[in-house]
Structures are given as C-alpha cells and as structure tokens.
Amino acid sequence: MRTIEWDSGVVRMIDQRKLPHEYVEVEFTDYRDVARAIKEMYIRGAPAIGAAAAYGLALAAVHSEAGSKSQLVADVRIAADVLRETRPTASNLFWALGRMLARLEDESLRGVDQMRQALIAEAEDLAEEDVEVNKQMGQYGAELIEDGYNILTHCNAGGLATVDYGTALAPIRTAWKQGKRVHVYVDETRPRLQGARLTAWELMRDGIPMTLIADNAAGYFIQSGKVDLVFVGADRVVANGDVVNKIGTYKVAVVAGENGIPFYAVVPTSTIDLSVESGDQVPIEERDAEEVTHVRGQLIGPEGVRVANPAFDVTPHRYVTGIITEHGIAYPPLAKSLRALCATKKG
C-alpha cells in the first residue's frame, strides 16, 4: 500500500481524510496543490510529508517553463518556500526540501532537462529509501517484542504515515510476520482520531489483533498490567532525546514511566534534528478550533466556545526508554547515542 507515488508528472496520494469509510486516491500536477494537501492533511505523518514535499518540488521542476538553469532553480526555490510553510513541526519536511535543493547544486547537471530528471529521480530515491528504512527499524524493534506481548500505540505511525510499512507499526508488523502473538491497544487520538480512523484500519486490514480504546483509557490499561510496551512515532526528535509527537504522547509516556513500562519512539534518522537542543525550542503547530469542536462535521461543544488546539506535545527524554532507528536503538544518554547513530548515517 503506497501512501504516495509519482506517475509521469502526476503525484498520486491516498486522501486520508476519507478513511476508514472511503478509500480515495487524489492526483496533483501543481506543487501548490501538494502544499495544500499537506496543510489540510490529505497526507500526514512526518516521513510521508517529507516524501510529499520532495514530489512537490519535482512537480515544480517538471511544470516550470524555465529555459535556463538559473530560472529553473529560482522556480524550484519558490516552490520550496511554499511547501516549507505547510507544517512547522515535522522535521522530515525540512530535511526532504534540503535534500532536493542540494541535488540542484550538482554542477554535472547540464541543462534544464537533466535538472528536471535529477529531481524526479531524487524524489523517487527518497521514497524508496523510506520503505527500506522502515523495514530496518521493524527488524530492530521486533527484537524487543516477546511472544504474547500487548503493545500500546498513539496516533498513526503505520504505512499511512510513511511511504509504506510504517515507523511505530513496523516492529509490530515484523514481529507478527515472525510468528509472534501480538496484540495492540490503539489510542483513538483526539481530536483528529488518527488512531481510531487510520491505525485501527491498518491493523485490521493486516489481520493483526487490536483493541481500540479511548485516549483517557490508556492509563487504566497500563496500570492494570495489560500493556508490555509502548511504541510511538515522532514528528521530530531533538539533540537531547526529547520526542515531539502527536498531542497526548507526553501523557502516555508519563503514565508508562510511572508504571515501569518501556516507552520507545520509532523514527528514521531523518526525523532526528540535532540542530535543536531541546523540545521546548520546537515550534508547536496550532490547528483550527473546529477540529476540537466538531466530529465529522457535527458540533459537539457550545457555539462560540473558546478552544486551544496544539497538534503536538513534547515528551522529555527522561521518559524515553529508547529510540529505534534504522541504524539501531539509541539508549540513554540519548544526547550521546543519537549523535553516534546519525554519524553512522553519514558514514
């Protein structure tokens, strides 16, 4: 199941707003429409957003009327500025744009046609690498899962949050394929219900046993001894190991820590931002009030009620047992181990 793909100058993606009741694919030929799709959450999840941004720049290059290298670079940079403004928290968005823009600096590219083809190829490589990286994380994470384990997740960090396969769901999928009996408690994840709509849909589609629970029930199941592990994804992990993820993650991590339950974030190294020292320096996206006041278009609160709707929160690194990446698992002190893993990536 590909969340997003390129097809001869067209970007095709699953419209995740429609799931689980409708499976709809939409197509875009303009980078501005891809930017809108990211902002309006047709596509979401840090790795998937990164891939969408990369494909958006490929679209900008393909449909640019530039006749010179300098003009094509200018057009692509304008597109990058538009895409950069869509979601402020996810690290992969900025990483992908930086990688694509760096490709344009290759002096061996001769002429605008070569530059266009190079950007398409770079976006395709980025997407393919995402799938392989997820599978590698799945292998490392599956080693932590014993037969019969119950695992709690929050938000959606499955194939829909990536190009394919997933981050936090990757170890679960891998363990299941290895023949381990696993069961997943799925937080509903208010206000956009990514757990209820997306994670539940993915796990049921794969035949992996799961139970959907209200967000406020997570503490009950953890305290009752019914949870063995917590796996979450992240939109950004910073240098000291703080994890920035979907709102509600911090609460789960604190309760897990209070009850001695291991809490792991599963992220590719492209989500790790060593340029930011701590989570309180990360901009937290504030989304529309209607996400809180309405469910499927139905008003659930008083008309005109005041709303705060932060999309993410920060889990301090002291609550994080480890961070699973494609290069292995980082354990405390995370400031040291994360740098080592990112150095492995560069090597």
Residues with catalytic annotation? 235
What does the alpha-carbon distance between residue 242 and residue 314 come to, in Å, rounded to a whole number? 7
For residue 69 the two structure tokens come to 């290298």
User: Which DSSP string do the residues of 53-85 spell out, in sequence order?
Assistant: HHHHHHHHHHH----SHHHHHHHHHHHHHHHHT
Handedness of CA 286, 290, 293, 295 (dihedral sign): negative
CA 286 to chain centre: 17
- Cβ burial of 89 (10 Å; 0-12, 13-18, 19+) is buried
Query: CB within 8 A of 210, min separation 6: which ones?
Result: 183, 184, 185, 186, 199, 200, 203, 204
Residue from 269, 253, 229 nearest 313 by CA: 253
The distance between the two most distant Cα atoms of the chain, rounded to a whole number of Å, is 66
What does the alpha-carbon distance between residue 250 and residue 268 come to, in Å, rounded to a whole number? 20
Q: Evaluate whether 215 touches 189 at the Cβ level (below 8 Å).
A: yes
Handedness of CA 81, 87, 91, 95 (dihedral sign): negative
User: Helix, strand, coil shares of the chain as percentages rounded to 5?
Assistant: 45, 20, 35
Treating both helix axes as pointing N-terminal to C-terminal, what angle do 69-84 and 91-104 enclose, rounded to 10 degrees? 180
What does the alpha-carbon distance between residue 8 and residue 126 come to, in Å, rounded to a whole number? 17
What does the alpha-carbon distance between residue 347 and residue 340 come to, in Å, rounded to a whole number? 11
Query: CB within 8 A of 4, min separation 6: which ones?
Result: 11, 12, 13, 14, 43, 48, 51, 52, 55, 127, 163
